[in-house]
Amino acid sequence: MPPTRDSSRQFVGALRAAFPDFRYEILGQWQDGGTHVFYVEATGTMSGDFMGMPASGKAATWREAHIARVADSKLAEHWAVVDQLGMLQQLGFVPPMDAPPS
């Protein structure tokens, strides 16, 4: 996705449509000057299609780390590390690592 405000809005809208009960719990947050770090736990139930995946009806919990640089009171840069593998395993799109090959 292009790094624009509209792209961010579209992504969040699609996420909220697919996971209507989506929520973050902030586990930790730190700031050093204009750099902000957030460590969060995300939860949600996939009741709608998302990024080419059909609704699974399953709930998932995963963790994310976000680093943001703020300049002139605006978000200038953002990086994230998301446990997408864990999320996809819980939603049933990827088999667990200990599962035998099929």
Q: What was the pLDDT predicted at 8?
A: 86
Of residues 75, 80, 76, the one with CA closest to residue 24: 80
Q: What was the pLDDT predicted at 102?
A: 65
pTM for this model (two decimals): 0.85
Domain that holds residue 27: 5-91
Q: What was the pLDDT predicted at 78?
A: 92
- Long-range contacts, 22-28 (Cβ 8 Å, 24+): 24/64, 27/63
Tens of pLDDT along the chain (102 residues)? 777 788 889 989 999 999 999 999 999 999 999 999 999 999 999 999 999 999 999 999 999 999 999 999 998 999 999 999 999 999 999 998 886 666
- The answer to whether residue 32 sits within a structural domain is yes
- The answer to whether residue 97 sits within a structural domain is no
Q: Which residues of 37-54 are buried (b: 16+ CB within 10 A; e: fewer)?
A: ebebebebbbbeebeeee
**SS3 of 16-72:** HHHCCCCEEEEEEEEEECCEEEEEEEEEEECCCCECCECCCCCEEEEEEEEEEEEEC
DSSP three-state, residue 10: helix
- CATH at residue 28: 3.10.450.50
- The answer to whether residue 74 sits within a structural domain is yes
Q: What was the pLDDT predicted at 45?
A: 98
Phi, psi (deg, nearest 5) at residue 47: -110, 5
Domain count, the chain: 1
As given in the structure block, the two tokens for residue 78 are 């953002």
